[in-house]
Amino acid sequence: MSLHRFFVLLASILALGVSRSAEAAAPGDPTPKPVSLTFIANEGVLIVGSTQKVLIDAPFTESYGIFAVPSAAVLGQIRTATPPFDGLTCILATHGDGDHISLEEAGLHLQRDTRCAFFAPTAVTSAFGKLPFPADLTERMKSAAPGESPTRVKFGDLEVTAVPVAHLLRPPTMPPPPPNVAHVLTIDGIRFAHTGDMGPHTLDAIRRSVLPGEHIDVMIVNVYFFAAETIDSARAILAEVKPQVVLLAHLGPNAPAKQAEPILKLAGFPRMIALDTPMQTYSVSREENGIRIEKR
Ligand SMILES: [Zn+2]
């Protein structure tokens, strides 16, 4: 090797070293804090990152006699925007059922926290107009359009995509199910999809939607999605989306861990964790082997 070539090689090795260390955290920089996810009740979660805080499918008050609801204390904290529900970037609702969102309670929060936005299917946001809230509130409200196309909105540097995925089917004796969306969002590099009451009959919609190519890390899925009669469809959908972790939600208030047990044992599904303890907080971080979720 000529001396010249040696120096060129040396220079490129040094440059590589410099650029690598520039990519790593600067000295004194704190290690990035894991994202925190707090289970509220039913399918409600609070996701908190370094600069963003998102409440999904809460607050709500309706149990319909069978579902878990947040405690009065938690509802009070949300209503008055007190920690951990202060400084919310936005409240997202997957659909308008009373076991997912209370417009009255959400409206009180939005009045208290005038920087918090709200995003839900049009069927939900249009109902706000009928309530006695100030007009400025409707300006912070974003609607996911009906139909098959996703709706993308930005709240500061947070982008949320609402993907229409049909609600669980209902017996003909019940009113038809409401429009339901999956909210897809990235917080501190971790991609979440909250699918609300998505049914297992939605494979075609999933294939059309942004969910498959999206690299979902953590997917929040309701327990009825795993009904025995439609388990093959459920498996096919999760094989398509390939989330790293499924958070199993919408468990009932009585013995939720027991209700989750047979589902957690099912073969051919991604790793699952049951959201069975209200106000339990989890740390969510990305490690070499994938997403790590642990109780705090
Ligand atoms: Zn529900």
The beta strands (E) that lie in the chain are given as: 35-39, 45-48, 53-56, 90-92, 117-121, 141-144, 151-155, 158-164, 181-187, 190-194, 218-222, 245-249, 271-274, 281-287, 290-295
Helix (H, G, I), strand (E, B) or coil at 234: helix
CA of 223 to the centre of ligand 1 (A): 10
Domain annotation for the chain: domains and CATH numbers: 31-295 (3.60.15.10)
CA of 218 to the centre of ligand 1 (A): 19
CA of 178 to the centre of ligand 1 (A): 10
Per-residue pLDDT of the chain (296 residues; tens, 9 = 90+): 454 554 444 444 444 433 333 334 445 556 678 999 999 999 999 999 999 999 999 999 999 999 999 999 999 999 999 999 999 999 999 999 999 999 999 999 999 999 999 999 999 999 887 787 777 787 799 999 999 999 999 999 999 999 999 999 998 999 999 999 999 999 999 999 999 999 999 999 999 888 877 799 999 999 999 999 999 999 999 999 999 999 999 999 999 999 999 999 999 999 999 999 999 999 999 999 999 999 99
CA of 128 to the centre of ligand 1 (A): 20
CA of 16 to the centre of ligand 1 (A): 53
CA of 265 to the centre of ligand 1 (A): 23
CA of 291 to the centre of ligand 1 (A): 27
CA of 177 to the centre of ligand 1 (A): 10
The pTM for the full model equals 0.89
CA of 108 to the centre of ligand 1 (A): 22
CA of 137 to the centre of ligand 1 (A): 25
CA of 60 to the centre of ligand 1 (A): 11
